[in-house]
Chains A and B, each alone.
Chain A
Amino acid sequence: MVFSVILAGGTGNRMGNTDKPKQFLTIKDKPIIIHTIEKFLAQPKFEKIIVLTPQMWIDHTNRIISKYIGECKKIAVISGGDTRNETIMNSINYIEENYTLDDDTIIVTHDSVRPFVTHRIIEENIAAAQTFGACDTVIPATDTIVESVNGNVISSIPERKNMYQGQTPQSFKAKQLREIYNSLTDSERDILTDAAKILVMKGYDVKLVQGETYNIKITYPYDLKIAKSLLEEEEND
């Protein structure tokens, strides 16, 4: 079975002076998270779309789903964890409690604030996770990446042609991901910035799926402006 895992754990503290998490801001008169969920609703292969949000936003998330999408048994809203990876683990636990978690159970994890994800990207994620066990959506880096260990001077400049920018979805065989995550030490967990790294750290292959430049993450006010202009929304607000 294939599950969609929508990660809506962010509280939006990078979005300037907004008072609600960025996934609840609207573009084209609809909350961003609703646009994102709809993209997954349009893929019949998903058994369930699991939306993980901070506990205090569960009721609100359910209300807006009901308002914009209507009654939908295919969507479940549950509480996320303290970190991104703990949130993903919550989704796997939910699958285990309500369905059968086996070696072929796939989760397609996606940022709730990337509503421009395409059907192709989702399809290719499912196929790559089934074939390779894990995949990450990326686009080739256009800027040169500069590494600085001390934040003061450059320690290295990796060759750009080998560099990619990570997007989402990231997709996994759920059972395997949890097993490997549980085997990590606390110090290993501390340096995890995303779920693909769990596998990379332990030497597993993670297949690349081609993303799109416009599969943007709406993190800063600037991103929201871009998202609105892509949808040709008047900037009066």
Chain B
Amino acid sequence: MINTIYRLSSPRRFEIDFEDISFSENCIVRPTHLSICNADQRYYQGTRDAKVLKEKLPMALIHEGVGEVVYDKSGTFKPGDKVVMIPNAPTEYDDIIAENYLESSKFCASSKDGFMQEFVELPKDRLVKLPQNMNLDVAAFTEIVSVSVHAISRFDKIAHSKRETIGVWGDGNLAFITSLFLKKMFKNIKIYVFGISRDKLSDFSFADETFLTTEIPEALRIDHAFECVGANGSPVAIEQIIKHIYPEGTIAIMGVSEYPVPINTRMILEKGLRMFGTSRSGKADFEKTVEMYKAHPDIVRYLTHIIGNVVEVKTFADMKKAFELDTRKAFGKTVMHWNL
């Protein structure tokens, strides 16, 4: 079947391409709801390194999305089943290293085409069925939610058991999702959120306390921390975390920065801190996320709060509109209703 692919050819410019896909062992999914990530924006706006852009473009963007199955030879999925698409594509299995950290793995909208296509061809193990009546605008950004679930799951294996308070630095989408899931996954822990916008922090109504990063009480201490800031805010956030964390605490680094970040290693040594990075997620994290949606309907309701823009996309002009609107938003996810 001739499949239409909408690739970014250079910053702010999409082009159309066609590729033949076959009705074979893989499933064919019709994307319906796609969500824009900051990583997509870095390609769209051309803020990635010029060498990287030259190497990767043209490429279809978007790695967060859901769709409807139109074909599955194996019968695991029925036509019309709503599924979340997993962008990570492992090429091998390793007993120790998770699929999202294997150097051989491919990733949609990074090392292969993303979901801005008429149809997406994926192996059946790269799909997770969504519950009936799932809010598909929320389901569209399940990938970023699964990244938080992945980080929290790793934290649970790494961090010591004294877990009275956890600090989450950041007041954006990732911080919102991470603090919400921390609250749901660890019932008796107090969640403190640290951000720079009083307005945005007011949305974290499920958190036990919120603080402006300029007004953190000197004596405040936390057992562990999640850094969800990234970019230019990373150095200050990590510095504050190291200052306010108890000895032997664990710090999860989740924010992406284009530049190397200086870290106060003296205090890491002195406090005996553990710091670990997380990136992306694997199938188990997607499955766990969907199970959490089913078990806690209020999670889905909370996640609707971070839907920023919803854009109907039928033309190239609509695609540009969605990306441009996304650049201007202060908070929230931009979801494209994909009808191409």
Contacts and interface: CB of A to CB of B under 8 A. Distances in A.
Interface string A32-55: 000100110111100000000000
Contacts of B79: 44
A42 B2 contact: no
A123 interface: yes
B26 interface: no
A119 B118 contact: yes
Interface stretch (B15-23, B87-95, B137-145, B260-268): B15-23
A69 B18 contact: no
Contacts of B340: 118-120
Contacts of A232: 17-18
Mostly, the A contact residues are loop
Contacts of A120: 118, 314, 339-340
Contact of A231 (B19, B23, B28): B19
Interface residues of B, number: 21
Contacts of B314: 120, 210
A39 B1 contact: yes
Given A44-B80, A119-B118, A231 B339 contact: no
B1 A118 contact: no
Interface string A117-136: 01110010000000000000
Nearest to A35: B2
B44 interface: no
A41 B23 contact: yes
Q: How large is the interface on A (under 10, 10 to 19, 20 to 34, 35 or more residues)?
A: 20 to 34
A230 B79 CA distance: 29
A220 interface: no
Contact of B71 (A42, A115, A116, A214): A42
A202 interface: no
Given A28-B20, A42-B30, A69-B23, A118 B70 contact: no
A119 B1 contact: no
A230 B1 contact: no
Contacts of B2: 28, 35, 38-39, 115-116, 231
**Interface hub of B2, B16, B23, B71 (most chain A Cβ within 10 A):** B2
Interface string B60-72: 0000000010110
Contacts of B68: 44
Contact of B1 (A42, A44, A70): A42
Nearest to A115: B2
B4 interface: yes
Given A28-B20, A42-B119, A231-B2, A119 B71 contact: no
A30 interface: yes
A120 B30 CA distance: 11
A64 to B, nearest CB: 14
Given A70-B23, A214-B18, 4 more contacts: A42-B1, A44-B79, A116-B2, A119-B118
Interface of B: 1-2, 4, 16-20, 23, 28, 30, 68, 70-71, 79-80, 118-119, 314, 339-340
28 contacts: A35-B2, A38-B1, A38-B23, A39-B1, A39-B2, A41-B1, A41-B70, A42-B1, A42-B70, A43-B70, A44-B80, A69-B23, A70-B23, A116-B2, A116-B4, A116-B18, A118-B118, A119-B119, A119-B340, A120-B118, A120-B314, A120-B339, A210-B314, A231-B2, A231-B19, A231-B20, A232-B17, A232-B18
